[in-house]
Amino acid sequence: MAKELLLKYGCNPNQKPAKIFTDNAELPITVLNGNPGYINFMDALNGWQLVKELKAATGIAAATSFKHVSPAGAGLALPLSDTLKKIYFVDDLELSPLACAYARARGADRMSSYGDFIALSDICDKQTAVMISREVSDGIIAPGYTDEALEILKGKRKGTYNVIKIDESYVPEPIEHKQIFGITFEQGRNEIKIDKTALENIVTENKNIPDDKKNDLILSLITLKYTQSNSVCYAHEGQAIGIGAGQQSRIHCTRLAGNKADNWFLRQSPQVMGLQFVDDIRRADRDNAIDIYISDDYMDVLADGEWEKVFKYKPEIFTKEEKQAFLSQQTGVCLGSDAFFPFGDNIERAYKSGVSYIAQPGGSIRDDHVIDTCNKYNIAMAFNGIRLFHH
């Protein structure tokens, strides 16, 4: 392994020269295929930390789908229901546990995952590689690859797909540095460990958080640790289902992530599951069509006659009332926040997306109001005392 690796360019083509390097050790990564760029490595290294910590905290293999230094999704290696297999377009595949984890990560927000960088906690197997080979993706990082998996991935994107192997025993220096405008910033690494002990201080009247929901809350918090702040993450049954990243206002994070969570649920509705697509439609076009069908803009698309390009038959309108009725059935969703909720309006919005369990640092001067709002809806909320800003 080398101490530095030259890159094509930095964040943008005009930013040259560019490289990654270490001062005191060899690089912990090996490029097995392709030529990863600056942003690729930022996504890869952030994604690797997320899945490594998620597996350590839950004991379950994990995957994440990264775009522009924030996760679009994260998932655990739990079996998929027939419904999830269908909405993730993997019902025709043989699924290993790790493949299930990536299907969950990719399926949280398929539009945002388009062109993602993948991180896996475990050695990439053939089944996961086959799934990845069908998706539009920029690259992958994992602690290893089976021979069959590596051969499949090397054939992706006409042989240019980025494949990175990372030394899973690598431990970085405790102090990290970053430069902005020629000035070097220094800080201790955020090495706080997130596990079930972070959920012990339950401040609401409802004190019951089941073990599977604790795993979902841990998933949401570790996901937030590597999401650009401000950020909020909705999680459900072993995966993120809505991530709101990089917003200046926390309520905007909660709304953005909640809207994504709603879309994830609506993809499982009878109206969406019954859609008939034209033959040989591209995956990206199918994903776009589903999002448009769910959206309030669908009437405008119908008026323009665009439906004929993607659907075999003109679908019935998915009315606002039908969508609200379907979403009203959803419950048991978990929500994590990277900093305290300043107002109860965040809880009001979260409840609309089926949130029943919350983990957040606490510490607002309006904590009492936030707790009262949770009690109003019988939501169990833990104050973990951990702020997870990431920049």
* Catalytic annotation, pick one of 40, 215, 230, 384: 230
Q: Which residues pair with 335 in a beta bridge?
A: 234, 358
3-state helix/strand/coil string of the chain: CCCEEEECCCCCCCCCCEEEECCCCCCCEEEEECCCCHHHHHHHHHHHHHHHHHHHHHCCCEEEEEECCEEEEEEECCCCCHHHHHHCCCCCCCCCHHHHHHHHHHHCCCCCCCCEEEEECCCECHHHHHHHHCCCEEEEEECCECHHHHHHHHCHHHHCCEEEEECCCCCCCCEEEEEECCEEEEEECCCCCCCHHHHCCECCCCCCCCHHHHHHHHHHHHHHHCCCCCEEEEECCCEEEEEEECCCCHHHHHHHHHHHHHHHHHCCCHHHHCCCECCCCCHHHHHHHHHHHHCCCHHHHHHCCHHHHCECCCCCCCCHHHHHHHHCCCCCEEEEECCCCCCCHHHHHHHHCCEEEEEECCCCCCHHHHHHHHHHCCCEEEECCCCCCCC
Question: Is there a catalytic annotation at residue 252?
Answer: no
Q: Which of 33, 46, 52, 67 is catalytic?
A: 67
Residue 126: active-site member: no
Active site residues: 67-68, 230, 391
